[in-house]
C-alpha cells in the first residue's frame, strides 16, 4: 500500500466510524467537497500536511492519532 492509499483508506475508515459522508467531512473541516473528493479519489496524489491537519481537526483527532492507524504500519517504499 502506498502512502496515498493509506491516507485515503484512513479517511474513509474514520468517516465510516462516524457515519459521515465525504460531504460531511468537508463541511465540518471547512474544506470544499471537491478538495476532499480529490484526495479520496486520487486526483490529489500528494495532499499537504496542512490539509491533513485540517481534516484531523474536523474529525476531532490529532495528527498522531491519524497516522497511528493500521493503514500506516506496513507501507511500501516510496522511492524505487
pLDDT of residue 9: 94
Pairwise CA distance, residues 66 & 59, whole Å: 9
Q: With 80 as the cut, is the pLDDT of residue 75 above it?
A: yes
Instruction: Kindly give, in sequence order, each residue whose CB lies less than 8 Å from that of residue 16, ignoring residues fewer than 6 positions away.
Output: none
Are 40 and 8 spatial neighbours (Cβ–Cβ below 8 Å)?
yes
Question: Are the C-beta atoms of residues 6 and 72 closer than 8 Å to each other?
Answer: yes
Q: What is the pLDDT of residues 13-53, one digit of tens each?
A: 999 999 999 999 999 999 999 999 999 998 887 889 999 99
The pLDDT score that the predictor gives to residue 33 is 96
Domains belonging to the chain, first-starting first, are 3-64 (1.10.260.40)
Query: Who wins on pLDDT, 69 or 78?
Result: 69
DSSP output for 11-49: HHHHHHHHT--HHHHHHHHT--HHHHHHHHTTSSSS--H
Amino acid at each position: 500500500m502506498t502512502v496515498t492509499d493509506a491516507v485515503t483508506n484512513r479517511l474513509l475508515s474514520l468517516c465510516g466510524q462516524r457515519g459521515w459522508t465525504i460531504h460531511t467531512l468537508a463541511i465540518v473541516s471547512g474544506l470544499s467537497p471537491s478538495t476532499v473528493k480529490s484526495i479520496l479519489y486520487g486526483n490529489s496524489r500528494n495532499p499537504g500536511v496542512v490539509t491533513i491537519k485540517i481534516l484531523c481537526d474536523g474529525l476531532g483527532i490529532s495528527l498522531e492519532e491519524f497516522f497511528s492507524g493500521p493503514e500506516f504500519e506496513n507501507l511500501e517504499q516510496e522511492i524505487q
